[in-house]
Amino acid sequence: MAQTLQTERLLLRPWTSEDVGLLSALSSIPRVTRYIGIGHTWTALKAMTVSDRALAHWRERGFGWRVAVLLTTGDEIGLVALNRMGDGTAGLDPDEHEIGWWLAPEHWGHGYATEGARAVAADAYTDLHAPHVTARIHPENRASIAVATAIGMHFEFNTVAEPGVLVSIYRASVRA
């Protein structure tokens, strides 16, 4: 997988240990976390733990989370993630490629999540030969559903993910 991706407006660079501050800032915003897990903001310790897992995923798998950086300003506006699904979601294989996105609210509505997710999905198909990418999305998260749909994902089914929350499964194949 390419280490760094570039789109028309974004640089998507691999996650580093220095990015824990970005995750800590994003995960402390209720509007960002309301559809993640049980919908609560995270402590700095949880952000560090999750960031460490993202780093380990890169080391072990050679792909993972990417920081979304605006090319015009150099501002880090969020992340686009590609990782293995892992255990804990009924009806999904833990080895599936999961895609996701988190942006700071001031950057919502500008197409950045779609642009970044499209590039990461395309790279997954090309470089990892992933047959499809899957997203777990809270059924009320209309913005993320719109991003998933815009990159060619389609609703497949509802299920329960850890820690016992309802999620809608969206998937796109390499043919999308």
Q: What tens digit of pLDDT does each residue of 116-170 get?
A: 999 999 999 999 999 999 999 999 999 999 999 999 999 999 999 988 999 999 9
- Which phi and psi (to 5°) does residue 153 adopt? -85, 150
- Percent of the chain exceeding pLDDT 70 equals 98
Once rounded to an integer, what is the mean pLDDT over residues 84-103? 95
| Token representation of residue 19 | 């990015």
Residue 17: its H or E element: none
d(CA 32, CA 29): 5
Q: Mind listing the pLDDT tens digit for each residue in 7-52?
A: 999 999 999 999 999 999 999 999 999 999 999 999 999 999 999 9
Integer angstrom CA distances of residue 88 from 7, 24, 64: 33, 24, 19
Pairwise CA distance, residues 1 & 125, whole Å: 10
Q: What is the percent of the chain where pLDDT is above 90?
A: 94
- The alpha helices in the chain, defined as continuous H runs, are 20-27, 30-33, 44-61, 112-127, 142-150
Q: What is the pTM of this model?
A: 0.94
Domains and CATH numbers, the chain: 5-131 (3.40.630.30)
